Structure 1
Amino acid sequence: MSVLRTRLASTSLSLAARRTLHTTAVRRDHFLDADAEAFKARVLDAKSDKPVLVDFYADWCQPCRVLSPLLKGVTGPESNFDLMTVNVDEHGDLAGQFKVTALPTVVAFKNGEVKNKFVGFRGQADIEKFLGML
């Protein structure tokens, strides 16, 4: 047994020694499960021209679970859009402020102002069409 442990230890040590670590700056363009402070800072007070899609969702909402990954796929550093998700069960005040009455609701903000929104599930083509209108 000790021979096996020695071999395993030397193998993992040699693998670790060969592995190189790289560090790069990471740009956060997805703000998931945002609270009111993050919402205010990134959406309402933002001076950026990059629109932010705010996905109002709930954990129990099945269409929300399908829509969120689609939104993550079309937003981020390589796109012209950022994404923020807001759980309406935890932040009902934000949902009320923007008259969210059904889920999912996606509101597009630019320079702190509402530019467009949609309610309900949308497929990939409809999301891209929505983004093209911003």
Structure 2
Amino acid sequence: MTTVLAPVAGAAVSLESVPDPVFSGGMVGPGAAIDPARKPGRAISPIAGKIVKLHPHAFVVVGDDGRGILVHLGIDTVQLRGEGFELLAAEGDRVRAGQPVVAWNPAEIEAGGRCPVCPVVALDAPEGAVSGLAEGAVSAGDALFQWR
């Protein structure tokens, strides 16, 4: 079992409530989302592993067991081309759970007309593989869900 940590502080919400059909429909996998606190902060790695993809607005960490977790900072934030994000790690880096990966400001994302909600997805996991979803307020580093 893999415990997936909340990468940002805020309110845990269901993936189905994310205003993007790719995430809400579970097309990339099951998981949860966080409606982030509207203040500058750092997105941390939800698991220990290797950063296999790193874009300013999103990253994927794969654990030693081969399980990958996608963290997407906001919806449609790819359109910002990195503006408002600061990389704190590099693709290929090994990270520990809780290690900062990207600095960002959800309030700026929202002020720019985009939704700052952060999907956290168990990539390619079968339906029903995720349980114990957190509800309500979470701090970065709190358990967000379990991947069985």
If the length of structure 2 is used for normalisation, what is the TM-score?
0.29
Q: Which has the higher contact order (CA 8 A, sep 6+)?
A: 2
Rg comparison, structure with higher value: 1
Q: Which has a greater percent of helix?
A: 1
Question: Normalised by the size of structure 1, how large is the TM-score?
Answer: 0.31
